[in-house]
């Protein structure tokens, strides 16, 4: 079935894993911003579940999955606890966290696209909501933590583009009835690999035309 990329139980555990790594990034930002443990938990929940919450409100799937699956809700609290006690250790494995985050990005852009399409949206809009599912939580995290959203900044490695490519591939495969069973891995792995490449080679998107030549002074 379209809305299950993999078998339901595998899908569920992949979702939980994605939620967990997104929550880690939220809780870590809470530590850096000197928030208390409840602030860390709020950022963890928002980072992990915010993108899917937005998608579900837009497609009218209420109550959203974030409020019906208890595992989705409790996972960010577990991530908060781990970061609370072990944050220096978690910071030290920041590359590993980045790799898992890339996996979450790849997974969520595809599941978001598929869920939106299965609720009757067009292919372009489904891919857009897939992108929003993958990156929305991070934007909400930054807004709540009073930071410029990392997604919008030119001096960060590509983050939206891998999710956009993954969502677009998923939409095209849906269009040609090619997204089922093992082929689901194609868009997920494409987005995952692109994000890893962006991290490895510091790939960035251009700013508006005439700005580029002044980039050095502005940094």
Cα angle at 49 between 73 and 57, to 5 degrees?
Answer: 110
Tokens describing residue 8? 């339901």
Shortest Cβ 95–a copy of itself spacing (Å): 21
Two tokens, residue 66: 């974030």
Question: If binding is defined by CB under 8 A, does position 73 make contact with a copy of itself?
Answer: yes
Q: Residue 10 or residue 152: which is nearer to a copy of itself going by CB?
A: 152
- Out of 152, 183, 201, 202, the only residue in the binding site for a copy of itself (CB under 8 A) is 152
- Cβ pair 184, 5 in contact under 8 A: yes
Binding letters toward a copy of itself, positions 156-185, x by CB under 8 A: ----xx------------------------
Q: Cβ 197 to a copy of itself, closest distance in Å?
A: 17
Q: Which is nearer to a copy of itself, 64 or 98 (CB)?
A: 64
- Least separation in angstroms between residue 133's CB and a copy of itself is 13
- Sign of the C-alpha dihedral computed for residues 76, 97, 200 and 153 taken in this order: positive
Cβ atoms 163, 134 nearer than 8 A: yes
C-beta of residue 192 within 8 angstroms of C-beta of residue 165: no
Which stretch in 12-20, 59-67, 92-100, 177-185 sits in contact with a copy of itself by CB under 8 A?
Answer: 59-67
- CB closer to a copy of itself, 156 vs 185: 156
Binding residue for a copy of itself (CB under 8 A) from 3, 124, 183, 202? 124
CB of 185 to a copy of itself, least distance (A): 25
Gap between the Cα atoms of 190 and 211, Å rounded: 31
State how far the Cα of 155 lies from the Cα of 203, in Å rounded to an integer. Answer: 10
Site membership for a copy of itself, residue 139 (CB under 8 A): yes
For the chain, first and last CA: distance in Å? 48
Distance CA 192, CA 124 (A): 21
Say whether residue 42 binds a copy of itself (CB under 8 A).
Answer: yes
3-state secondary structure (DSSP) of residue 2: coil
Task: Note the residues at the interface with a copy of itself (CB under 8 A).
Answer: 30-31, 33-40, 42-43, 53, 57-60, 62-64, 67-68, 70, 73, 83-88, 119-122, 124-125, 128-129, 139, 143-149, 151-154, 160-161, 204-211, 218
């Amino acid at each position: 079935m379209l809305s299950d990329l993999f078998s339901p139980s595998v899908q569920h555990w992949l979702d939980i894993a994605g939620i967990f790594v997104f929550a880690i990034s939220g809780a870590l930002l809470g530590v850096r911003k000197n928030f208390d443990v409840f602030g860390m938990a709020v950022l963890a929940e928002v980072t992990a579940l915010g993108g899917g919450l937005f998608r579900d409100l837009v497609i009218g799937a209420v109550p959203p999955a974030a409020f019906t699956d208890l595992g989705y809700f409790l996972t960010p609290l577990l991530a908060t606890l781990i970061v609370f006690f072990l944050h220096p250790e978690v910071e030290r494995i920041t590359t590993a966290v980045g790799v898992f985050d890339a996996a979450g990005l790849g997974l969520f852009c595809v599941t978001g696209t598929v869920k939106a399409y299965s609720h009757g949206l067009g292919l372009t809009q489904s891919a857009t909501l897939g992108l929003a599912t993958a990156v929305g939580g991070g934007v909400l995290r930054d807004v709540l933590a009073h930071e410029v959203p990392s997604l919008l900044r030119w001096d960060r490695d590509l983050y939206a583009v891998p999710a956009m490519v993954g969502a677009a591939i998923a939409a095209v495969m849906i269009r040609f009835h090619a997204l089922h069973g093992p082929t689901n891995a194609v868009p997920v792995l494409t987005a995952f690999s692109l994000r890893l490449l962006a991290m490895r080679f510091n790939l960035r998107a251009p700013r508006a035309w005439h700005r580029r030549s002044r980039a050095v002074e502005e940094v």
